[in-house]
Chains A and B, each alone.
Chain A
Amino acid sequence: MSQHQELLPEISDVGSKSPIGEFSRRDFVKVCGATGVGMFAVTMFGSVPFVSALKMPIMSDAKGVLLHDITRCVACRRCELACTEFNDGAASSYLSRVKVARNFAAVGGVPAGMAVGKAGDFRMQVDTCKQCPHPVPCAEACPKGAIRADVKTGARRVDPALCVGCGVCTKACPWAVITVNPETHKASKCYLCDGSPECARACPTGALKYVAWTDLRLSSPPVQPGILADPSTSSYCAPCHS
């Protein structure tokens, strides 16, 4: 069974080879549902105690992911609007789970016409959540265990009941696509709209597409930028990533 065909949530197969060995998938799900809090090893502050037996949650890959085509995007930002209006009841660029506006300008002293972007060569980069495979930086950084695999899609989803709005996840995300809503004080990130992403539906050129997740690690070396890992976590990874 391929990664994106798995029913979620469940621990991927690598879990059976991990230090939490005897901890079954069923148990993991059970604990997640029962407590949710304090399961993660990674914290920026060192103030959240590790739960020794559950240093790192291992989530199966999401079923799908949003892909953005830089050549087709026309910078209309209807994706940002659909994301926020149909999810939050309010239109916002800042809160949007897809990020367009911040990539408009030629910055860094590059003159107009000579950089990527609306003010440059017109090719528009849009940032989307990559629904990272294990290890999931935002989920691992969350001191409350509030980011989990969505039951339906496997998307890494914020549980607002657990989120305390500390913003650690926004620092941990390599793509900076998580935002803390200043009004609700809850982190907001892409959850793939239960499998029918509003942004892709609203895109007038098909530049945003919802596609099956393909784990390229099977054919290329793993690259995971900037994960804030405690040394003990590194050792935890060793059995699988030696």
Chain B
Amino acid sequence: MPTYGGWTGKTLRVDLTTRTSTVEDTLVKYKDFWGGTGMAYKVLWDETTADTHPFDPECPIIFGWGPLTGTGAPSGGRTAITSLSAQHPFHAVTTGHMGGHFSAEAKFAGWDGIIVVGKADGPVYIAIRDDKVEVVDCPHLWGNGIYRATAEITQAMGGSCQVAAIGQAGENLVAQSVVMTNYSHSAGGIGANLGSKNLKAIGVVGTGSVKIAAGKKAWRALIDNSMQLIGSNNQHVVPNSPQPWAEYVGGSSVRWYAKKGQYWGAANPPVETGTCDPHDRQSVGYRCLKSDPGAFAEAYTVRMDGCHSCPIRCHQALSVPTVAKWGVPTTAANTCTGWWGRGLMDNAKVIAGLSKNDANLKSLEAYVVGKHMTDDLGLTNNYGTTDRGWTFVLLSGPAMLADDTKKPTHPLADATTLKAAGKANVRLSWLQTVLINPAWDWTTLTAAAIGAEYASLAGLTTTAAATTLLGMYAAGDLNCMKEFGRLMAYQVGVFGTFMAGPVEAGLASWETKAPGLTAAYHASAAVQWWANGFPKHHSLENGGQVGGLINTCYNRDAQNHSWSNFLANGLPSNVSAVIADAEFADNGYMENMGLACEFGSVTSSVMNPQKAVAARWSIARKEIMDSTGLCNWMWPWIVSPLKERGYRGDISLESQLFSAATGVEMNTKEFDDEGIRFYTLERALTLRAFKARNMRVLHDQLPPWGLAHEGVATFNGTNYYETHADWELALDLFYAELGFDQFGAPTRATLTDMGLAYVADELALLPLNPVS
């Protein structure tokens, strides 16, 4: 057998039932699926059935990365944890994605992936020291949070140890739970899978290396080229403020933040991010001061943090000494929706009557307390869904309820309506949306009832506002967040159980008390529910049909940024258009996408074949990233920050890196085809879970809010609302591009061409629609 780089050649399998581990030959069993999600889909296809439950001992959990993990390929620190979903109504395949340093350490320990099966007879963690693997009893850690578990396992295994752990939420089989590493990098929706196996954590220490097949000179040239073309967070390539070197300035949403006079203010002494000329390789790491809490938080920033091998640091590392009074660590790092508590105290001036500065600090404290609460308990917020729920609880407290101007007036009111009414600041949540409908006999899950329930659970003798969860919030007591998290992580009471479980199941459980609740939830544009049962994630607002198709593909919110990153890169559209034509060998690419050369406007509203091609490419690259270890929040790099290149990036970089690292030569087309092959297997697993082939009807439809303007206004694409007929055309063209039949199922010919004929045999046995 030839010698390859990139792969270590060994995949670890741990059976917790027997407490044994075995070594599988990666190159024999999984090389055609690379690693990460590709490998995981293969394992799940081979080892599960349509009736396998996520919590069955035999259900595998695959900790995956890929041949570029642990190498110097920039932004290569991702871990994909794949199994059957506890959140999904049919327990279809899903992946939780986390960054950090876990995958690199595991690779250095000699492993291309870790497959965990079985169920331990008591709480355990897996300790991996290179090729030595132990299943270690840890009853002392069970019931503890992620922080304690991580600290103790690290102490046991040594300072370079990397730990991936679950908190109390995962232990208690909460569907909205995570696996977390490095105290801030979490894989959402997969924590309960570990909990069901009594698996608290995996700790790993590696002293080996990852071989590079290419010569040192060639590899270095490739890394240098990659580092020249890298942008900032999400591969945004222009600054969002004028800089001496910059030809263009992006909008405020562009994530190239660095500028003169901006500091990591809590560094000692403070560090200026500076102008960050793109040719200066020693300032790349300053480009992204992503301050989710706002500019106020820059003064509390120790530095920026992030994942292994990534020079773009998207996690903000804060030091906020005043949070000590809430009983949490004074330092905290996270990014985006990882900051639970974000927005919770934005109205601290109103609620607690604070000065502007004190209100800003209170808001910042909410970020930190919320992060620690959820990251220690191991909760996920399902891309904002669950914090919409708790936002309701807290913001519907006495202070808010007394103010009619802050309440939506119609249960189906959407953000547009509110904005038109001058109420854009209303923090509309899905629970707010549905609970205020007086027609519903909603007697239990009301704000007052939740307060009463909390008072009861807390041993309080009164439901007076001052002593309830709501009262704590109204008084600016951030312990309310810790209590909220406790209710969720332990599934305490009606509300805790409701918030902790799968969204659709929770809605259904209340349908008798609130007829029409589910339909109202699905229809609300404010909720942003997608028809696969999860929140949207860069959907119709990102290029209309293309963004919509991307959101149909998976069994959770789309973790796909290939396309959205390009649209938001910050360059003028006419510049992006020239680049897109060059990179995709297209003529009029942007126009075909419905994206005019005037930023923000749209020239083509209807579906066309080019949009299907774009959606296919975006999906291919997502799977490629998740199967090589690269980050789809950064890659691919269609554009670059270099004026002398006309801002052109290079979409062949990933295949070049793969070829150089592994020694397996692969061009860009072959590379993308492999990504689609992996996705096709994911699709087959989804069909299996549904026990039906009719994905067009069962899985791929738009949410009602996506069709909200149908019959009301002419679909013009500018508002990213769709028509039914156009969406059906979009599916037709998309299926054709993927080699699927009219029902959205992979055809036998497609599967055979991909070497997956054995998959076709099983799919052929499935009925078109579920047999009741």
**Chain A residue nearest in CB terms to B323:** A113
- Which residues of B319-347 are within 8 A (CB) of A? 319, 329-333
Q: Shortest CB–CB separation between residue B606 and chain A, in angstroms?
A: 44
Give Cα distance in the complex from A86 to B108, angstroms: 17
Which residues of chain A from 109 to 127 have a CB within 8 Å of any chain B CB?
109, 111-114, 118-123
Flag the segment in B112-120, B267-275, B615-623 that touches A: B267-275
Q: Is B674 an interface residue (CB 8 A)?
A: no
For residue B71, which residues in chain A have a CB less than 8 angstroms away from its CB? 81, 85, 91
Q: How far is the CA of A182 from the CA of B331 in the complex (A)?
A: 38
The answer to whether A78 touches B311 (Cβ under 8 A) is yes
Residue A82 at the B interface, CB < 8 A?
A: yes
- Which residues does chain B contribute within 8 Å of A112, judged by CB atoms? 147, 150-151, 183, 329
Which residues 48-97 of A have a CB within 8 angstroms of B? Answer: 71-78, 81-82, 84-95
Chain A residues positioned under 8 Å from B267 (CB to CB): 71-72
Contact between A105 and B154, CB atoms less than 8 A apart: yes
Q: Which listed residue, B104, B105, B269, B313, touches A74 by the CB 8 Å rule?
A: B313
**Is the CB–CB distance between A206 and B151 below 8 Å?**
no
Contact B211 A105 (CB under 8 A): no
The answer for the CA separation of A111 and B311 in the assembled complex, in Å, is 28
A101 to B68, CA, bound (A): 19
Cα distance, A183 to B208, chains bound together (Å): 9
Q: A85-B72, A92-B108, A121-B319 are in contact. Are A76 and B207 (CB under 8 A)?
A: no
Q: A74-B285, A90-B210, A205-B282 are in contact. Are A102 and B216 (CB under 8 A)?
A: no
The interface residues of chain A lying within 8 Å CB-to-CB of B158 are 102
Whether A82 contacts B72 in the complex (CB less than 8 A), given A74-B304, A74-B305, A76-B313, comes out as: yes
Contacts of B216 in A (CB 8 A): 85-87, 89
Q: Is the interface of A mostly helix, strand, loop or mixed?
A: loop
Instruction: List the B side residues contacting A183 at CB < 8 Å.
Output: 209
Contact (Cβ within 8 A) B159 A76: no
Give chain A residues whose Cβ lies under 8 Å from the Cβ of B282.
203-206
**Shortest distance from the beta carbon of A219 to any chain B beta carbon, whole Å:** 23
Interchain nearest-CB distance for A87 vs B (Å): 8
User: Is B329 within 8 A of A101, CB to CB?
Assistant: no
* Cα of A88 to Cα of B151 in the assembled complex, Å: 33
Given A92-B209, A112-B183: A71 touches B309 (CB 8 Å cut-off): no
* A102–B309 touching, CB < 8 Å: no
Question: A203 to B313, alpha carbons, bound, how many Å?
Answer: 13
Contact assessment for B283 and A206 in the assembled complex, using a CB-CB cutoff below 8 Å: yes
User: Is there contact, CB below 8 Å, between B206 and A122?
Assistant: no
A107→B155 CA distance, assembly (Å): 6
**A106 in contact (CB, < 8 A):** yes
A226 at the interface (CB under 8 A from B): no
Q: Which residues of A contact B72 (CB under 8 A)?
A: 78, 81-82, 85, 91, 202
Contact A84:B209 (CB < 8 A) given known A74-B285, A113-B329, A120-B331: yes
- Residues on B with C-beta less than 8 A from A94 are 108, 160, 206-209
Assembled-state Cα–Cα distance A94/B207 (Å): 5
- For residues 65 through 112 of chain B, which have their beta carbon under 8 Å from a beta carbon of chain A? 70-72, 74, 101, 104-105, 108
Question: Could you tell me if A74 and B303 are in contact, using CB atoms closer than 8 angstroms?
Answer: yes
At the interface, yes or no: B59 with Cβ under 8 Å from chain A?
A: no
CB distance from A124 to the nearest CB of B (A): 8
B220 an interface residue at 8 Å Cβ cutoff?
Answer: yes
Contact B151 A78, beta carbon cutoff 8 Å: no
The contact string, 1 if C-beta is below 8 Å from chain B, for chain A 193-221, is 00000000111111000000000000000
Chain B, Cβ-Cβ closest to A92 = B209
A21: interface (CB < 8 Å): no
| Cα(A189)–Cα(B264), bound, Å | 33
Q: Closest CB of chain A to B391's CB: distance in Å?
A: 26
Interface residues of B (CB under 8 A from A): 70-72, 74, 101, 104-105, 108, 147, 150-151, 154-155, 158-162, 182-183, 206-212, 215-216, 219-220, 223, 264, 267-269, 271, 281-286, 302-311, 313, 317, 319, 329-333
Taking the nearest CB of chain A, how far is it from the CB of B772, in angstroms? 51
Whether A28 is near chain B, meaning CB under 8 Å from some CB there, is: no
A91 touches B210 (CB 8 A): yes
Which residues in A have some Cβ–Cβ distance to B below 8 Å? Answer: 71-78, 81-82, 84-95, 101-109, 111-114, 118-123, 182-183, 201-206
Cβ distance A195 to chain B, nearest Cβ, rounded Å: 17
A115 to B206, CA, bound (A): 23
Q: Are B209 and A90 in contact (CB under 8 A)?
A: yes
CB distance from B538 to the nearest CB of A (A): 26
Q: What's the least CB distance linking B357 to chain A, in Å?
A: 24
Q: Which of B183, B206, B211, B269 contacts A89 (CB 8 A)?
A: B211
Chain B nearest CB from A109 CB (Å) reads 7
Taking a contact as CB atoms closer than 8 A, the residue among A73, A85, A182 that contacts B219 in the complex is: A85
A89 to B285, CA, bound (A): 25
Interchain CA distance A75-B315 in the complex, whole Å? 12
Q: When chains A and B are docked, how far (Å) is the Cα of A102 from the Cα of B205?
A: 10
A124–B159 Cα distance when bound, in Å, is: 13
A79 to B596, CA, bound (A): 42
Given contacts A85-B72, A92-B208, contact A122 B319 (CB under 8 A): yes
Shortest distance in angstroms between B46's beta carbon and chain A's nearest beta carbon? 31
Which residue of B is nearest A87, CB measured?
Answer: B216
Contact A92 B210 (CB under 8 A): yes
A73 to B150, alpha carbons, bound, how many Å? Answer: 23
- Minimal beta-carbon separation of A121 from chain B (angstroms): 6
Whether B209 pairs with A88 at a CB distance below 8 angstroms is: yes
From A77, A85, A103, give the contact of B101 (CB < 8 A): A77
Closest 4 CB pairs of A and B: A113-B329, A204-B285, A92-B209, A204-B311
Please state if A122 and B208 are interface contacts (CB–CB under 8 Å): no
The residue on B at minimum CB distance from A81 is: B72
- A85 with B303: CB separation less than 8 A: no
**A88 partner residues in chain B, CB cutoff 8 A:** 209
State how many angstroms separate the Cβ of B64 from the closest Cβ of chain A: 18
Name the residue among B150, B223, B282, B309 with the largest chain A CB count within 10 angstroms.
B282
Instruction: State in angstroms the CA–CA spacing of A71 and B317 once bound together.
Output: 12
Q: Report chain A residues within 8 Å CB of B70.
A: 91
Chain A neighbourhood of B302, CB < 8 A? 121-123
* A91 contact set on B, CB distance < 8 A: 70-72, 209-210, 212
- Determine how close the nearest CB of chain A comes to the CB of B148; give it in whole angstroms: 8
Contacts of A104 in B (CB 8 A): 101, 159-160, 162, 182
Give the residues in chain B near A108, CB-CB below 8 Å: 155
- What is the CA–CA distance of A75 and B159 in the complex, to the nearest angstrom? 14
Which residue of chain A has the shortest Cβ distance to B281 in the bound complex? A204
Contacts of A87 in B (CB 8 A): 216
CA A31 to CA B445, docked complex, whole Å: 87
The smallest C-beta distance from A212 to any residue of chain B, in angstroms, reads 18
Residue contact B159 to A71, C-beta cutoff 8 Å = no
Do A114 and B329 touch (CB < 8 A)?
yes
**Which chain A residues border B308 with CB–CB below 8 Å?**
76-77
Chain B residue at minimal CB-CB distance from A83: B72
Contact A95 B209, beta carbon cutoff 8 Å: yes
CA distance A73 to B311 in the complex (A): 11
Q: Are B311 and A85 in contact (CB under 8 A)?
A: no
Contact present for B183 and A101 (CB under 8 Å): no
Given A71-B303, A122-B302, does the pair A81, B209 have CB atoms closer than 8 Å?
A: no
- Neighbouring B residues of A114 by C-beta, 8 Å: 329
Measured between alpha carbons, how far is A81 from B332 in the docked complex, in Å? 27
Minimal Cβ-Cβ distance residue in B for A200: B282
Shortest CB distance B34–A (Å): 18
**Max count, chain A CB within 10 A of own CB: residue among B159, B208, B304:** B159
Please measure, in the bound complex, the distance between the C-alpha atom of A102 and the C-alpha atom of B219, giving whole angstroms.
26
Interface centre among A77, A82, A112, A118 (most CB of B within 10 A): A112
